Amino acid sequence: MHKNSQAKLSTKLVSPAAVPVPASSPQPALNAPVQHPYSGIDQAVRGAVARMTGGVSPFALVETWTDWAMHLARAPGRQLELAEHARDNALKLMDFAAKSVSGPAQSPPFAPKVYDHRFADDSWQSPPFSLWQQGFLATQDWWDHATENMRGLRKQDSERTRFLVRQMLDTVSPSNFPWLNPEILAETARTGGRNLAEGVVHATDDWLHTLSQAHTPPPEGYRLGKDLACTPGEVVYRNDIFELLQYKPQTEKVQAEPVLIVPAWIMKYYILDLSPHNSLIKYLVDQGFTVFAISWCNPTAEQRDLSLEDYRKRGVMAALDAISAIVPGRKIHANGYCLGGTMLAIAAATMARDGDERLASVTLMAAQVDFSEAGELLLFLDESQVAFLEDMMWAQGYLDRPQMARAFASIRAEDLIYTRAVHRYFLGQDDLPTDIGVWNGDTTRMPARMHSEYLRGLFLENRLSAGRFAVEGRVIALKDISAPLFVVGTETDHIAPWKSVYKTRLFTDADLTFVLTKSGHNGGILSEPGHPNRHYRVGHREEGALYVDPDSWLARTKPKDGSWWPEWISWLNAKSSGPVAPPALGAPEKGYPPLEPAPGRYIHQT
């Protein structure tokens, strides 16, 4: 059994400045620029510009437009094709307009994208609103065609140009203007304009909140520790990076092997312990497992030098050491979600390299180990953009919450920005609180050094799957992991696309079960039994079996109705050694006394 290296550490909460930061293994950038004596001046100026632009690099945008425009300029055949496409769209619109005026409603030639709900109301099917809607969708269709990849054009620039055009078109959608939107006109007539007056109040509140950046407390019925994150437990370890929560057993017997939950540090852990009916942690406890969860701190500017290695060594590994002391002689089922899964994969590969055999299994939920197909987030990342973000983080010590929130919202701006704005400011509808909505607004900051290492080493340079990611000076390999793997992807995930998550099969050799579940990055994971209209697919790869590509796997794997959670529980039970009496909460004699009730204090940091 691995020696408990943390047993004699004090559990007293200390300030970040008082905690020694161990030497870590930096991941230097490839072709890093030479630093000249006045680099600090340049960095300060770039950091100021970055704060003015919200972290978006204007140089990357200019390069994108220039690349697309120059390739189009030298392609007269493509220009002719686009002119014909514009003509065809115009003819379709004219035909639709003529038939709509002279007779009953016609089938529209253009349809919104599946995730675009701005025109879902039936009133958009009647003229003149249908004509304005179709004119907008025709323009959107032409630009989608114009920004398709061209020979010689970088694929990233093609996709980024399409993204930028989509952002610009969204600002002029007829749904955004009260005099063009039939829903707003009908509501204004019904209420005598009260909806617009209430919208002004909402807009003023949001504007003041944006200026002050004050943290909004959870509404009544959604208080942390009472309504949300309310599974009973204790904080059994704390350092400056995380608190370790151990949950009280709810069954007379528990599986001998405990479960460790490693959430992403870009979110607060209670996404996995929301309301009692959809809490994955509560479900695990109720099924007879001893559950531990990491609750990451919300770092401040003083913690700007926290590194990826700190999160691995003083985060994941410190948690494993504590669990090994509290539940001695047992292996551990480790579960990582999103970036927490990526960090868990790094930790598991390092443990395998070093002969540490404490892991009974590894579960990765919506987590990527290869970032070559990392979805629309890659649109924000190239050398210019990462350097811009680094300069901004250098100036303020972290990547702030609004800067991340804007990036995620812009990926689905149709719903997350414009539909919400119409409902709130023109229809006068207040946001109805939900558990996941409260969690989604409870964002965190990213320490400057760690986020830079993550963006460069993983996203930009893709070192982990390429065999170039070093821990403590030596490269690690995912194929060294021998613990059985349970990997979960979600069908409509735009943060960790399921085919990217599926590539874990390509870079590992261990026994692996892959599950593809309905919904997106959060909704697919929160798929509790009884949730309506849910399904999943599950497939198994034996250790050392040949690789099957994702499309072939999807074609041969039939969907099953219901939640994937019971499937995972059955898998965990099969990888466990059987029921035993529950362990005590904490281990005071080994330096891990219960400190305070769950969910602890880091969850309340703003």
Active site residues: 338
* 440-444 long-range contacts, CB within 8 A, separation 24+: 441/216, 442/218, 442/268, 443/267, 443/401, 443/404, 443/405, 444/265, 444/266, 444/267, 444/268, 444/296, 444/298, 444/299, 444/401
Q: What is the CA radius of gyration of the chain?
A: 26
> What does the alpha-carbon distance between residue 45 and residue 48 come to, in Å, rounded to a whole number?
5
Tokens 């059987």 correspond to what residue? 578
* 108-114 long-range contacts, CB within 8 A, separation 24+: 108/133, 108/134, 108/137, 109/134, 109/138, 110/134, 110/137, 110/138, 110/140, 110/141, 111/137, 112/137, 113/414
> What does the alpha-carbon distance between residue 454 and residue 231 come to, in Å, rounded to a whole number?
32
CB 603 within 8 A of CB 269: yes
Per the DSSP assignment, residues forming a β-bridge with 560 are: 536
Residue 398, C-beta contacts closer than 8 angstroms, at least 6 positions apart: 299, 300, 301, 303, 304, 445, 446, 447, 448, 451
The amino acid at residue 301 is A
Residue closest to 276 by CA, chosen among 229, 315, 208, 338:
229
> Length of the chain, please?
606
Residue closest to 273 by CA, chosen among 265, 287, 284:
284
> What does the alpha-carbon distance between residue 601 and residue 596 come to, in Å, rounded to a whole number?
9
> What does the alpha-carbon distance between residue 600 and residue 236 come to, in Å, rounded to a whole number?
10
> What does the alpha-carbon distance between residue 516 and residue 280 come to, in Å, rounded to a whole number?
17
Is the backbone peptide bond immediately before 178 cis, with ω within 30 degrees of 0?
Answer: no
Chain centroid offset of residue 62 CA = 27
Q: Which two tokens stand for residue 211?
A: 């200026």
Chain centroid offset of residue 138 CA = 32
Backbone angles phi, psi at 38, to 5 degrees: -110, 25
> What does the alpha-carbon distance between residue 319 and residue 294 come to, in Å, rounded to a whole number?
7
Q: Which two tokens stand for residue 350?
A: 């390092």
CB 321 within 8 A of CB 313: no
Burial class (CB in 10 A: 0-12, 13-18, 19+), 78: middle
